[in-house]
Amino acid sequence: MTTGILSLQGNFLDHTRSLELIKKDYILIKQKNDLKSIDSLILPGGESTSMIKIQSNNELFKKLKILINDGIPTIGTCAGLILLAKDVVDGETSLGLLDCVVERNAYGRQNESFEGLVNFLDNTQMYCFIRAPKILKTGKKVKNIAFIDEEVVGVQQNNIAAFTFHPELTNDKNYLSWLKYFIEEGKNVRSF
């Protein structure tokens, strides 16, 4: 069982540490041929516009879209959420698979990044929000799974889970336990 981590740009190496902590194999995805042997996927934080431009000539995102539509467990953090969203305010829609509207850099510039207490699966943990997007609206089939106060900061739709924050920077026990089960079971992981 191998997890593919999109590694065009951004903080993909932090996700490798999360997978190492739960003893899961991974491969860094840079081109469409790297997708052959994966059964789960992580789209990391970084700069969504740069990721879209970097891959534009090699059809990588077309292949990713097929895999995700076929049900591969997929996690997006920060820019990964932006890539997955059906509608992006102040940005370009890319994969367009997650029924939500997000706003890029909704909390401000880099120096306005912050840490906040997030309730994720009935556990409260401090997580990092770095030039984070904001989830403005979700579709009927999207479950809200993480909150900062009343604001939704994590969602799940079938085999896709996405977060505005960076759980891979904290690697707390709650997140690592969820990660292990999610990449193994996808949409059937624990009831939210």
Which is catalytic among the residues 100, 103, 168, 184? 168
To the query of whether residue 15 is one of the catalytic residues in this protein, the response is: no
Provide CB contacts within 8 A for 183, sequence distance 6+: 1, 3, 24, 40, 73, 75
For residues 151 and 103, what is the distance between their CA atoms, to the nearest angstrom? Answer: 14
Q: Is 100 a catalytic residue?
A: no
Using CA of residue 165, residue 160, residue 81, residue 6, what is the dihedral sign? positive
Residue 175 buriedness (CB in 10 A; 0-12 / 13-18 / 19+): buried
166 is catalytic: yes
Q: Of 59, 151, 166, 185, which one is the catalytic site residue?
A: 166
| Catalytic residue of the set 15, 59, 78, 185 | 78
The dihedral through the CA atoms of 19, 34, 54, 186 has a sign that is negative
Active site residues: 78, 166, 168
